[in-house]
Amino acid sequence: MSTMAAPTAFDTDALREGIERSDAEALLALYADDAELRVVDRKTQPSHPLVMHGREEIAAMLDDLYGREMTHKLERAVVQDDHLAFLESCQYPDGIRVLMSSMADLRDGRIVDQTSVQAWDENEQAK
């Protein structure tokens, strides 16, 4: 009699710890080798998003983002079957805030396809 292996679960605790400790290496471990990440924002709009292919390109972005002097907080994360949604808030020392909403597909407990939409304060009044 054969048994089916249970699918590997996504580690939301590792996501939270990586984000809130600004640990780019820990976050990179959550991505599959062939992952694709798209970012949409004011500069990289929906028609021409920033697209990163594979862990090497994603690592460069994570190193840049989490190497900045700012705080990061995982507000919410929801995993359902092979899908992940999460909301991250960030704040620079001068008070400027950033909000990023992400949706991702999972395979074997790792992110394989992610789209993130981010918005940030654009004026002094937002502080």
Q: What is the pLDDT of residue 52?
A: 97
Q: Is the pLDDT of residue 19 over 70?
A: yes
Q: Where are the beta strands (DSSP E) in 1-127?
A: 31-40, 50-53, 71-80, 83-91, 97-107, 110-120
What is the rounded distance in angstroms from the CA atom of residue 68 to the CA atom of residue 65?
A: 6
C-alpha angle 28-118-85 in degrees, rounded to nearest 5: 60
Read off the pTM. 0.89
* % of the chain at pLDDT higher than 70: 91
| Residue 126: strand, helix, or coil | helix
- Provide the pLDDT for residue 6: 54
pLDDT digits (tens, 9 = 90+) for 57-71: 999 999 999 999 999
